[in-house]
Amino acid sequence: MTTTRTELTAGGRDSAPAAGAPAVDRRTFLRLTATLSLVAGAPARAGAQNAAAPADSLPDATARRLPRWRGFNLLAKFTLGRNRPFRERDFALIAEWGLNFARLPMDYRCWTPAPGERQHDPRALAEIDQAVDWGRQYGVHVSLNFHRAPGYCVNPPAEPLDLWQAQEAQDLFAWHWSEFAARYRGIPSRRLSFNLVNEPAEIEPATYVQAVRPAVSAIRDADPDRLIIADGIRWGTVPVPDLAELGVAQSTRGYQPTRISHYRASWMSGSNDWPEPTWPLVEESGKRWDRATLRDEFIRPWQQLQNSGVGVHVGEWGAYQQTPHGVVLAWMRDQLELWREAGFGWALWNLDGSFGVLNSGRADVAYEEFRGAKLDRAMLELLLSL
């Protein structure tokens, strides 16, 4: 997701890790959170089964064949400027709605005192531990992603090092992932995956493979069975067959066309000047965007990759709050139906915020009051139907 610090989830506590916070032993922390969850219980809705689902109910996942996970991106650690704990409520809702996936796009600076240092903030790591354990409690697969990695981020500011060219950046990137691999060693891949780096842009496949190979090796050295997922290039839209030698699955995106997904988005240059979108959409150039365009140009290449024995998942997708709601729903339906036919799972950007089903701030939605939030019921029901 290409965005700015203003494009974040709504609600929740906004706080950076306290300086000098005491270290939290992971095993102790997880025992405490498990005990608290037993006391508190899982939220339930009238007529529904208990929201918590056994983690063992999650499907097996391998790099050769990913399940059709469905869920949301949760943005508590998306940027250093809004470094917050994750919320149990979000995992409970995902499970209650019958979904089973949470991608956590994170900024490595949230747990690193200073870029370039090989140190961790124990409080930030404890908050990630908590999210992983909530995944276990609620039967939600958790996918950890470096949205900002040492040496690369799709968003400004630029990193001081270049992940694609600098050995120092590649070594640091590998070190961070090796630390997570050791920390979560033994957690089954049906519950936890590592999504290496968000949306590499205009790089050559060989450059990509060379840059991430040390991280993949470091993860495997610490936890040989960990499921690893790599985004496609060109901002996640183009598959990379060259990555198959590393034994990783791949993640794509569902933002095409940007005339719909990013209409009037403040961080998208020129988007305020685009005409109000329709679906299907015809650009001034005469290019037509419709269901067939999505299938032929953006899904078929990924199906070919999947048919070669590489698991595929749509790690991000959605439309910004300024796109007319009816257009969004029609476009979403075509994407969802095509992904279901292809066997692809997906994670909406986001759950709570301007792309999501909660508190999206759309002016043309009749929201439902829902546990202190504003729910886009029509969008939610569409997601759950496919």
**DSSP string covering 25-54, please?**
-HHHHHHHHHHHHHHH-----TTS--S---
pLDDT tens digits along 5-31: 233 333 332 233 333 333 334 443 343
CA 197, CA 214: separation in Å to the nearest integer? 13
User: CA-CA distance, 2 to 316, in Å (whole number)?
Assistant: 11
Q: What is the pTM of this model?
A: 0.87
Please state whether the peptide bond connecting residue 157 to the residue before it is cis, i.e. omega within 30 degrees of 0.
yes
- Between CA 118 and CA 26 the distance in angstroms is 19
Kindly report, residue by residue over 26-46, the tens digit of the pLDDT. Answer: 443 343 343 333 333 333 332
Residue listed under structure tokens 């005469």: 286
Contact 100, 138 (CB under 8 A): no
Asked if 71 contacts 349 with a C-beta cutoff of 8 angstroms, the reply is no
pLDDT tens, N- to C-terminus, the chain (386 residues): 654 323 333 333 223 333 333 333 444 334 334 333 333 333 333 223 344 566 678 999 999 999 999 999 999 999 999 899 999 999 999 999 999 999 999 999 999 988 788 989 999 999 999 999 999 999 999 999 999 999 999 999 999 999 999 999 999 999 999 999 999 999 999 999 999 999 999 999 999 999 999 999 999 999 999 999 999 999 999 999 999 999 999 999 999 999 999 999 999 999 999 999 999 999 999 999 999 999 999 999 999 999 999 999 999 999 999 999 999 999 999 999 999 999 999 999 999 999 999 999 999 999 999 999 999 999 999 999 99
- In Å, how far are 35, 311, 336, 355 from 68, measured between CA atoms? 31, 10, 12, 21
> How many other C-beta atoms are found inside a 10 Å radius of the C-beta of residue 75?
29
Span 50-385: which CATH code? Answer: 3.20.20.80
